[in-house]
Amino acid sequence: MRTLHFYLTRQILAALLMTVAVFAGVLLLSNVLKEVITLLISGQAPFTMLAQAVFVLVPWVLVFALPMGLLTAALLVFGRLSADHELTAVRAGGVSLVALISPVLLLSLALSIVCAWVNLQIAPQSRTAYKKLLLGAGAASIGTLLPEKTFIKDFPGRIIYVGSVRGSQLEDILLYELNDEGKVEFYVRAAEGTLKFDAANRKVTVEVRDAWRVGWREGKLVPVHIEETEVTVDLMPEKERRRRLSEMTFLELREELRTMEERLGHAPDLPTGAGDEKRARLAEFRKQRNDLTLPIRVQMHRQVSLSFACLGFTLVGIPLGIRAHRRETTFGIMIALILVILYYGFFILGEALDGRPEYLPHLIVWMPNFLFQIVGATLLWRANRGG
């Protein structure tokens, strides 16, 4: 039995390393190519940034690549064992299917624990580090936001004109400050200035020297000389200033949930014999409170639920590989992709409904685990009986 377990584990690990490398490479390219390669081609970032981006994104893609790789490995290995009649030989020797696959199940459980650690703590930090890396690249190329000899109207409440951009040094600067109606309140004119970029807060500061501020006073334009002043432009929209829930660790999400619940306050205790109207108000209060905290709870459930993907995929992959009775790699990958789309489709649905508490989105993200584990266990039971 030990020899069989060693043989099967070696086959699974070999296929797992290959499939994880393929899926991780695809996921990395889909993210890096979209954002980093563009900066490299335009010369806005060094080539070392590509290696840094890949390095910091590896933990994030492993959360998806490990379960997908384990599913594909189970389909390929057990499909080949079934096609070559090796499983028939093992059963003829008196070894049950459950006893044979016990090391594979233990491996999937161990990988689920690894995925839980990565998904709850490491992956959100990885994604945050990647965003900071992109912002750091933007700091080196922030001058591209200010094309020369162009009136730039992309910044809320301001119009900016720069005659010449040499790295962080600017010449012939004209800054218009607009009111809420879009009319000019005043403008600043300077011969030169310096551009500064706050990567953490995504803010650009234009420091001008020997400038003139021209504003309206009693219906007339009045110039005022200024030795030195700063004008700050916020590059981050208001809705993006706070960290996204997907970039928070589980502990940070729990703290965010606790803070929001404290801000919303606690429901008042109803006296004995309270009327139906008071009970209705209390129910409405609790409903509104749950609605506001629902996105956080959905993200917390998502992180925990996603950690069990390895176990569910293994339980389904083994009997499907045996039933397929085929050793072709393309067939195994095709079945794996179909199952992956089905599995992660529930997570996408749950996140899309995080504003609709009546659909219980925090429970929807658990449905693929229950579905895959129940179906997988049933198929394994039937395969173990020879059905």
Query: Would the pTM of this model clear 0.75, i.e. be above it?
Result: no
Rounded CA separation 338/345 (Å): 11
Q: Evaluate if residue 28 carries a pLDDT over 70.
A: yes
* Average pLDDT of span 326-350: 83
Q: Evaluate if residue 40 carries a pLDDT over 80.
A: no
Q: What is the per-residue pLDDT for 241?
A: 44
Q: How confident is the model at residue 3 (pLDDT cuts 50, 70, 90)?
A: confident
- Determine the residue type at 23: F
Segment of 9-18, 44-53, 325-334 carrying the highest mean pLDDT: 9-18
Q: What is the 3-state secondary structure (H, E, C) of the chain?
A: CHHHHHHHHHHHHHHHHHHHHHHHHHHHHHHHHHHHHHHHHCCCCCCHHHHHHHHHHHHHHHHHHHHHHHHHHHHHHHHHHHHCCHHHHHHHCCCCHHHHHHHHHHHHHHHHHHHHHHHHHHHHHHHHHHHHHHHHHHHHCHHHHCCCCCEECCCCCEEEEEEEEECCEEEEEEEEEECCCCCEEEEEEEEEEEEEEECCCCEEEEEEEEEEEEEEECCEEEEEEEEEEEEEEECCCHHHCCCCHHHCCHHHHHHHHHHHHHHHCCCCCCCCCCCHHHHHHHHHHHHHHHHHHHHHHHHHHHHHHHCCHHHHHHHHHHHHHHHHCCCCHHHHHHHHHHHHHHHHHHHHHHHHCCCCHHHCHHHHCCHHHHHHHHHHHHHHHHHHCCC
Calculate the average pLDDT of the chain. 79
**Greater pLDDT, 14 or 259:** 14
Q: For 65-114, how does the pLDDT look when each residue is reduced to its tens digit (9 = 90+)?
A: 999 999 999 998 988 888 888 888 887 778 888 888 899 999 999 999 99
Q: For 243-282, how does the pLDDT look when each residue is reduced to its tens digit (9 = 90+)?
A: 678 888 899 888 888 887 776 655 555 555 555 665 666 6
Q: How confident is the model at residue 26 (pLDDT cuts 50, 70, 90)?
A: confident
% of the chain at pLDDT higher than 70: 78
